[in-house]
Amino acid sequence: MTAHANVRESAAFVLERTLDSRAPVSTFLDGALERCDPRDHGLLRELVLGTLRWLRFIDHVLVAASRRPLDRIQRALLAPLRIGAYQLFFLDRVPAHAAVNEAVEQAGSRTHAGGASFVNGVLRRIARSPRRDDWPVDGADRTTRLGIHYSHPDLLVERWLKVYGEERTIALLAANNRPKPLHLLAFRDRGGRAPLAELLIDDDVGVEPSVLAPHCVTVRWGNPLTSDAYRQGSFYVQDEASQLAALVPPPAPGEKVLDVAAAPGGKTFALLAEQPEVRSLAADRSLRRLVTMRRNADRLRVRPLLLAADGVALPFGAVFDRVVVDLPCSGTGTLRKHPELKWRISAGEIERLAEEGLAMVRGAAECVRPGGLLVIITCSIEPEENEAVAAAFLESRTGFRRRDIAGDLRRPAAEHVAGPGVWRLLPAGDHDGFTVQVLERT
């Protein structure tokens, strides 16, 4: 078996395990990367994440090319077919004959000669028409057409059309299918982005200033995780949107902050990167995640206080200037790096997560001092998990109101205020999507 065939077998293994479980794709992908030649890491990630992103469109094509329903295709052949089809449509650097031949070889090792012949026939049919427009969706309504063409479930397409309209929904669907670069958080009191970029260049890592977050750089080539800058604690890996969300509104020197559901540390680190004089206490109910946060903090040379505590029942009175609570959510703002979530979301799950989030908001609110802020953050763009949760809280709890944040923010963050006390950044460009709501205790 060739090295490339080994990579494709690893990709098939990760794809199958991810789709058969509720576990994040990283659960299986990280282990596969450890067993893989470092020179093949990029290809393995591309095959797994790309196939997951385009899964619905690929399955639509496989049904058309094979002239049989998906449930009548032998299960052992689905992963080689899906990965082969992904290469034919989206990887120009892989010759079509190589993608077909390696999928056929893989199928032959998984089943009988008839199965390998079937894979050969289906992929050769696709290879003759390797453009998405060659495989139209006939006789379907607008939601299904967009869902198949952009490889999203009807549930999300229908929801976004109602909330965001067709033009923004199509832009959102397209953005979710683009690979996302790595973003790094630099620290203002260590000089910010420029010294970090110089350190990384010495290790052949190319970065450029990010557009939105003030202390963020975007990695364009190289691996910063093997650099001296990483070992010295000069940066934290964090998406640009996540960095910016933590600064809505920007913290003041000496501000006393409680970070609820804090681990592995992104919100706390982003606040300290902007304002090192913030007095931060980070709480999380998972000891394992707190251990990870402590390791991250030690490497970064910052010293937030850490506490094991459930966000629903926190052991504090109303003493914090700002309480930041990261709600459990569907993660619909992070589908670029977690494409498997697309195929697991349900209306019932969104409703359940919203109920969990409301309980956390109620618990966190008890720790906000009069005049202080309750900052609610999710990596979801669904109103039910955001505005509806805050509205339910405000209906059941007096003494809080939405804060007008437009005057608190500078451009470009100010351009994403979505309403009174609501800030939302949709996935686009190089970044994920986040929603922030700011309530003030009166």
Catalytic residue numbers, as ranges: 379
Distance (Å, whole) CA 126 – CA 96: 10
Size of the chain, expressed as the number of residues it contains: 442
Q: Which two tokens stand for residue 438?
A: 């700011």
Could you tell me the maximum CA-CA distance found in the chain, to the nearest angstrom? 73
Q: How far apart are CA 13 and CA 325, in angstroms?
A: 36
How is residue 155 written in tokens? Answer: 């549930």
Encoded tokens for 89: 């449509």
On whether the CB atoms of residues 53 and 176 are closer than 8 A, the answer is yes
For residue 19, count CB atoms less than 10 angstroms from its CB and return exposed for 0-12, middle for 13-18, buried for 19 or more: middle
Angle at 241 between CA 34 and CA 361, to 5 degrees: 100
Helix axes 41-53, 55-66, angle to 10 degrees: 80
Closest by CA position to 423, among listed 431, 433, 412, 435 = 435
Name the one residue in this structure whose structure tokens are 């998405």: 132
Exposed / middle / buried, residue 152 (Cβ in 10 Å: 0-12, 13-18, 19+): buried
What Å distances lie between residue 391 and 191, 395, 422, CA to CA? 41, 6, 12
Query: Rounded distance, CA 421 to CA 406, Å?
Result: 8
Going by the DSSP 8-state scheme, the letter that residue 218 receives in this structure is E
Give me the phi and psi of 54, to 5 degrees please: -100, 20
C-beta separation of 263 from 293 below 8 A: yes
Over its C-alpha atoms, the chain yields an Rg (Å, rounded) of: 23
